[in-house]
Amino acid sequence: MTQVTVGDININYEIKGNGAPLLMIMGLSFSLRDWGKKFTELLAQHYQLILFDNRDAGLTSESTRPYTIADMADDAAGLLDALKIPKAHVFGVSMGGAIAQQFALKYPDKLDKLILGCTMVGGTCSQPGDISGAIDGNLSGLLFTPTFIQNHQQELAEFFAATTPFHSQGEALRRQMQAFGTHDTCDILSDIQANTLIITGDKDIAIPRSNSDLLAAKIPNSKLEIIADAAHGFSYSHADTTADLIRLFLQQQPNSEKKIMKNQLDAIYQTFREYAEAFNLLDPTQVEPFFQVPSMLMTSDLVVVMKESKEVTGVFAVLMDKLRKDNFKESKILSLQVSQLSDNQGLVVGVAKRFNQADEEIEHFGFTYTLRKVEGDWKIIAGVLHEPETLSNS
């Protein structure tokens, strides 16, 4: 056990590997042991890992007072100062991802690149999930898919036997949950300037992946990666994939000549969400205002250039009539990525499914929309519906 005093606590930490420093921040209740041996060994081949226990977890001191996620970011920054590490990459998962967000906002000079795993922006912007497993002890169901659990029963039994004794309990857990419950960076994420990788699993029930879509939409220089058949504990169940994504991201050289554009990601994201909601009404007059004419629409059945507003309503009237015949109920966006290409041009790429009134899937498709800023408002100038694909933001 190695500890160092930071503020009013003694932080338990461990350093593994050599290379550029990578500070790893664990989530609610868990300790540094929960990263797992395989994952940390893979990363330690390339980086100097700084693993530590948050306050009220593992072998770090219990707090003597209530605190916030911002206070926990202060702990992380203080640990780097104590270790005389002026700057580091930061990887945080779940609540650790919330701490990493605050770290990026409060200590940009200490941050190289940022990695956010299975986390959220908090506040009213987030979609809540099921974290009951953290309270009732069903950690396998919280972290992993049923298939992974079935195929790794003995391994998981041994893993939890070794890690659970170091998890937060009682008042310590209550303090951590209170801190996480008040986390909210919804209106300030655009202030994060670090190159950011966002990773989540497509089967995460604790923090659903729509929260990662929102992070990618709100953080200017961000990239989203979704790991298939992975849940909240993806860094353990998919250690090789996660380590590869992190290594490739950290090895990429930033483009110092890239123009820093005025960030409009929130506006592009909101415009597209409102368009999607309007489409679900199956009223072509509701979607027409979202298009700038002339504009283009391409599906598997048609390619059309709409030169006037009435042509927009005419085209969508035909599309929506077909959906009515299929007993359409709604479209649900499964994943969404927003990019700002210039000061007045944006790109939205995603995957969605359409369902009928019986909640049966009637269509699974990918979409790519180009938007342009016209007199202060973002308008669609081109839309393409295509085969669904695994998304990878650049």
Predicted pLDDT at 266: 82
**What number is the average pLDDT over the span 326-352?**
88
The model's pLDDT over 167-211, given as tens digits with 9 standing for 90+, comes to 999 999 999 999 999 999 999 999 999 999 999 999 999 999 999
Give the pLDDT band of residue 250 (cuts 50, 70, 90).
very high
Domains of the chain: 2-251 (3.40.50.1820), 265-386 (3.10.450.50)
Predicted pLDDT at 393: 40
CA distances in angstroms from 293 to 245, 290, 346, 375, listed in the order given: 40, 10, 16, 14
Predicted pLDDT at 263: 62
Sheet holding 111-117, edge to edge: 2-6, 9-16, 47-52, 20-25, 88-93, 111-117, 196-201, 222-227
The answer to whether residue 157 scores a pLDDT higher than 80 is: yes
The model's pLDDT over 350-381, given as tens digits with 9 standing for 90+, comes to 899 999 999 999 999 999 999 999 888 999 99
Global pTM reads 0.70
The answer to whether residue 254 scores a pLDDT higher than 70 is: no
